[in-house]
């Protein structure tokens, strides 16, 4: 992402005032826990619609910053943002796109759209690079990312070091995923009868197309049956199968290893719910879908929502305040249903807040870290809530940004996008170059699932990477980042892997920035539904787990766009519609489907 506009002129305000103090006895209508995207969106909607005044909606977060799993950072000496968490959006994701780009989205000229939020965010393409330059390094073999297509155009099949079934040789991993999904869909007579006009095969043996909408998928996912006589899974609902189980059954364990390795993310091919994996893997094939990001950093979407809410008198974001528990049997119970107990972290002091509604905008691990013995979680007796909280798999993820004094990857003709390997680093993204001094950023690792323990042993080491001088990077700025550095051992290992993948000399970085999202309170970078879960029931259940209580769970974890900000927004929007009776936002197109 090469940013043309100098950082200094950016007009996005990230100095949102946070209050890390306390006000014992504070009374409010709605207490929102979590200043991540789902919590901030809920606060924005509840106040922007005039439903509540600012003082009636209060946000609490244990962190000293807002944004949750969105965190954009500037590395010293570089004039553009790097992303430690979420980094891009799809233009098919209509809530996030509209909040960033204005409405209606049918108006192609952005200048003619009406903005929803006051802060200006600049949408820019998220470049995916040129497959003819980007690398694959699998089982110690180097390829360019277009190697499969080049071979196919020459009427050849690219042979790799994976012992694939004869029928599967020559397919790229994306093509093989599509083949598996097509074959399973069309093997079910019910699907073939009702939806065969929405999938295509050909013109070549490698081409498959899927034109199912999200609504179609919500019809297909609970109903699809696995029809493969002789298979251990014959006759079972695909929703009851793990994705790994299904892939192995279709293309052998070697085929599984191939798609898992070449796909870049182990999180896509863990043994999660196979029916949920299908639409996730084939992506959104509606017209004109592209990846974009925000020039001012992807966390701008969180700041813009927070600023909008903070513009309402009485609004407050209570940072560094950790929710411990909440109860009902308190003195003010005639006027406020709930007493919330917070730990104020700077003062290490307990204080109480009173509210009539509690919105928990947080993921699974954060929920599990709350008092599990209170009346709501009551984990010994409320086994349904307990089971539903555990219906998603927590997927570890970490990111390490590395600042180099030169864009060494340009020697290979690479300017953006990512390279993929089966080494534990898995992927690296080439993030951009500051044109004034050549300083360049690389997303050095994007480890998940299987690679976690490999890196954990290195990241637990005590010796941190030592920052060093670079052009335009003051030592004061660099020193301020000392605590955020990856360990020296980890950097050494990543450098060894980068050299093995790229096969050129690579200079040492001058700075790094490390974030492990499996640390508390997140417990995971993102989530995935377990096999056998009735997702269509659990999603609405989690939005209000107890019909008699005004307690709501929103966020990415229990959405059907897991791993995306849009999932967090859709859950919040549906919860606000059903339980706070908000009408659909005027800025959101009537036809946009938000799922179960
Ligand atoms: P969170 O952002 O997790 O917010 C939860 C908040 O609750 C946190 O601020 C936390 O501090 C607070 N909290 C927890 N417990 C307590 C407590 N007891 N008391 C007070 N506060 C508490 N999405 C995309 O759209 N595009 C991407 O490219 C993308 N890439 C990603 C890459 C990575 C590495 C990761 C980790 C995520 C990525 N995502 C991406 C996902 C996206 O970041 C999340 O879906 C989204 O930010 C989740 O928002 P949330 O509101 O559900 O929860």
Task: Show Cβ contacts of residue 454 under 8 Å, excluding neighbours closer than 6 positions.
Answer: 424, 447
Q: At what angle do helices 274-282 and 214-223 cross, to 10 degrees?
A: 150
Region 127-135 average pLDDT? 94
Q: Give tens-digit pLDDT for 468-507.
A: 999 999 989 999 999 999 999 999 999 999 999 999 999 9
Nearest to 405, CA basis, from 478, 499, 509? 509
User: Using CA atoms, how far apart are residues 267 and 451, in angstroms rounded to an integer?
Assistant: 10
Q: Please, what is the average pLDDT of the chain?
A: 94
Q: Give tens-digit pLDDT for 530-552.
A: 999 999 999 999 999 999 999 99
Nearest CA to ligand 1 atom 52: 555
Q: Give tens-digit pLDDT for 223-263.
A: 999 999 999 999 999 999 999 999 999 999 999 999 999 99
Quote the distance between the C-alpha of residue 402 and its chain's center: 21
Nearest CA to ligand 1 atom 9: 68
Determine the distance separating the centroid of ligand 1 and the alpha carbon of 161, expressed in angstroms: 38
Determine the distance separating the centroid of ligand 1 and the alpha carbon of 120, expressed in angstroms: 22
Total-model pTM = 0.96
Q: Is the CB of 60 under 6 A from ligand 1?
A: yes
User: Using CA atoms, how far apart are residues 596 and 582, in angstroms rounded to an integer?
Assistant: 17
Q: Give tens-digit pLDDT for 70-94.
A: 999 999 999 999 999 999 999 999 9
Confidence (pLDDT) at 284: 59
Q: At what angle do helices 94-101 and 300-310 cross, to 10 degrees?
A: 70
SS3 category, 536: helix
Q: Give tens-digit pLDDT for 140-170.
A: 999 999 999 999 999 999 999 999 999 999 9
Judge whether residue 44 has pLDDT over 90. yes
Determine the distance separating the centroid of ligand 1 and the alpha carbon of 229, expressed in angstroms: 42
| Diameter over CA atoms, the chain | 78
Q: Is the CB of 195 under 6 A from ligand 1?
A: no
- 212 touches 199 (CB < 8 A): yes
Judge whether residue 289 has pLDDT over 80. no
From 121, 366, 445, 528, mutation site for ligand 1 pocket: most ligand atoms within 8 A of C-beta = 366
Sheet holding 316-318, edge to edge: 316-318, 57-60, 30-33, 357-361, 551-554
Q: Give tens-digit pLDDT for 459-475.
A: 999 999 999 999 999 98
SS3 category, 502: helix
């Amino acid at each position: 992402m090469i940013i043309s506009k100098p950082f200094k002129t950016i007009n996005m305000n990230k100095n949102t005032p946070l209050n890390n103090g306390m006000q014992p006895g504070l009374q409010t209508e709605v207490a929102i826990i979590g200043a991540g995207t789902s919590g901030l969106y809920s606060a924005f909607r509840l106040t922007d619609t005039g439903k509540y005044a600012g003082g009636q909606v209060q946000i609490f977060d244990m962190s000293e910053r807002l944004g949750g799993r969105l965190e954009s950072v500037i590395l010293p000496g570089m004039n553009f943002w790097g992303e430690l968490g979420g980094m891009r959006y799809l233009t098919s994701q209509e809530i996030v796109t509209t909040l960033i780009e204005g409405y209606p989205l049918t108006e192609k000229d952005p200048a003619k759209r009406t903005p929803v939020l006051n802060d200006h965010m600049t949408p820019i393409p998220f470049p995916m690079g040129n497959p003819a330059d980007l690398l694959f390094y699998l089982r110690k073999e180097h390829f360019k990312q277009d190697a499969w297509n080049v071979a196919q155009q020459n009427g050849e099949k690219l042979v790799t070091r994976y012992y694939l079934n004869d029928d599967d040789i020559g397919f790229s991993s994306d093509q093989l995923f599509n083949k598996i999904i097509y074959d399973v869909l069309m093997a079910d007579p019910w699907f073939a009868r009702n939806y065969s006009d929405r999938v295509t095969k050909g013109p070549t043996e490698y081409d498959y197309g899927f034109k199912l909408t999200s609504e179609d998928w919500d019809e297909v996912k609970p109903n699809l049956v696995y029809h493969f006589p002789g298979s251990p899974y014959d006759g079972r609902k695909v929703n009851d199968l793990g994705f790994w189980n299904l892939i192995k059954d279709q293309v052998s364990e070697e085929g599984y290893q191939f798609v898992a390795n070449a796909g870049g993310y182990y999180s896509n091919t863990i043994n999660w719910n196979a029916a949920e994996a299908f639409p996730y893997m084939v992506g959104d094939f509606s017209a004109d879908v592209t990846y974009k990001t925000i020039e001012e950093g992807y966390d701008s979407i969180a700041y813009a929502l927070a600023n909008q809410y903070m513009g309402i008198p009485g609004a407050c974001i209570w940072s560094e305040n950790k929710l411990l528990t909440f109860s009902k049997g308190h003195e003010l119970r005639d006027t406020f249903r709930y007493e919330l107990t917070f730990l104020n972290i700077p003062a290490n002091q307990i204080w109480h807040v009173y509210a009539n509604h509690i919105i928990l905008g947080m993921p699974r691990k954060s929920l599990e870290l709350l008092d599990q013995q209170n009346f709501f979680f009551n984990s010994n007796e409320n086994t349904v809530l307990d089971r539903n909280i555990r219906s998603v798999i927590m997927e570890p993820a970490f990111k390490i940004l590395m600042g180099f004094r030169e864009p060494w990857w340009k020697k290979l003709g690479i300017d953006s996008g990512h390279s993929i390997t089966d080494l534990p680093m898995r992927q690296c993204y080439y993030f951009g170059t500051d044109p004034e001094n050549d300083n360049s950023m690389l997303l050095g690792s994007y480890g998940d699932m299987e690679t976690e323990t490999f890196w954990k042993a290195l990241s637990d080491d005590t010796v941190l990477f030592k920052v060093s001088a670079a052009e335009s990077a003051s030592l004061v700025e660099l020193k301020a980042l000392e605590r955020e550095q990856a360990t020296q051992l980890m950097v050494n290992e990543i450098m060894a892997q980068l050299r093995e993948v790229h096969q050129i000399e690579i200079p040492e970085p001058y700075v790094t920035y490390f974030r492990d999202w499996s640390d508390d309170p997140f417990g995971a970078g993102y989530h995935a539904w377990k096999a056998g879960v009735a997702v269509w029931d659990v999603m609405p259940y989690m939005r209000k787990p107890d019909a008699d209580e005004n307690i709501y769970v929103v966020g990415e974890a229990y959405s059907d766009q897991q791993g995306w900000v849009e999932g967090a927004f859709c859950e919040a929007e549906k919860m606000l519609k059903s339980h706070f009776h908000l009408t659909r936002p005027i800025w959101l197109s009537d036809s946009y489907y938000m799922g179960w």
